[in-house]
Structure 1
């Protein structure tokens, strides 16, 4: 059993979650191990969440709600907890993304976060050498819930062809990621265009950016550098972003031709072939 520690519920969303979990568990007359048995996890995991040492998942929260009959208390709270796991500079963007009515983005290197598979996201996030990749992956997947809302945002992605060829995580992960992009064709409010290499120089050689429109707020443009993100509602910047995005859309393949290219790359580059033995290659290089 994890030894309980005093926590300040006002210190962070994670601490508040842990405080509430302990309070309601004890109110139900359950030990950590007993609650763990009910929701199919260990008592030590319950203790770590209560002590603010483990970030809860949405599935964990839903099971706790059912076990403690909380009327969705933890399922509502977990979104704030997962968002707090994100880098401080990224949190304002995630909050605005969750409220956006229309998202248009150009991605020069990677698949857009809302469209990433879990395995692809894990491979991407691991490159930053974070303390807990699991927490960041859970937070990224939670962001994607916006696509499943009753009234989801319109998401229009222009994806550079380079992102299709960059083997993030290996051949199988990339094949599954491209298959996931193709599966999104069934969603009315998601559209993907590929900007082909043949387009040559284009309107956003400077890099990726995202524009978001809202029902009741000013439009914003977001971009990132090496260490942080930048979000602005400056009218001149927003206008410049809209112009550049229009040029990118015009230079990109149609939605249908983009899907055909994704299929070709998926089959030709990431078909079912044995993965190279990276350990063997490393030994040779040494």
Structure 2
């Protein structure tokens, strides 16, 4: 018999890996290309959204396609996801992000060395986020609030499109909508802290870069310890977004058992 639990963990690993291969890959392409000749902010936002969409498609059938610890924790708190699975899911997500970042690091090693021989903050953005995207002017409190807001938006809308009583998109279109959510967040909430909105997406690549030459990977451009912020703030944001959805929408929806049964088409005779 198939080990369905192992399959869930493998799918979370693979889905998060696909997400990071697209996401960190596009940032590497943009950062290492001369004069923005191979992309810009919009291409980054779209590729991250595509990465999320493809990652969810990879994982959704077996695990639900969380590919984000903030989503997993929010589902455990508000949607009955088993707590015994939370830490294994998060571990699988982190490992998927870590392995994918190592692949990007090796694949772009020559170009990264060419544009940033010392492996500094200038190209650290390929792997992890920074306040103000590495530009001074955004403080830690603002970056923290930004991550709470961005992840709250993400989880609020994810709950909206996965709640049966809320007339969600058909299941095969769900990943597309989730990907578009991330594109929108990147275009609207990308300035203050790089819209990590996913602890695994940030910590896995951050550690991969740390062990491959980026000595300041745990810090921001001002030398402040920063790695904790894209972990803690998204988890809080996910709980805020999930709680607001329950408060503002779900408690007013009909119970799933009260929903009309889906129409069943009559079998057509063979002619």
TM-score by length of 2: 0.25
Between structures 1 and 2, the one with greater strand share: 1
More helix by share: 2
Compare relative contact order (CA 8 Å, sep 6+) and give the higher one, 1 or 2.
Answer: 2
Q: Which has the larger radius of gyration?
A: 1
TM-score by length of 1: 0.24
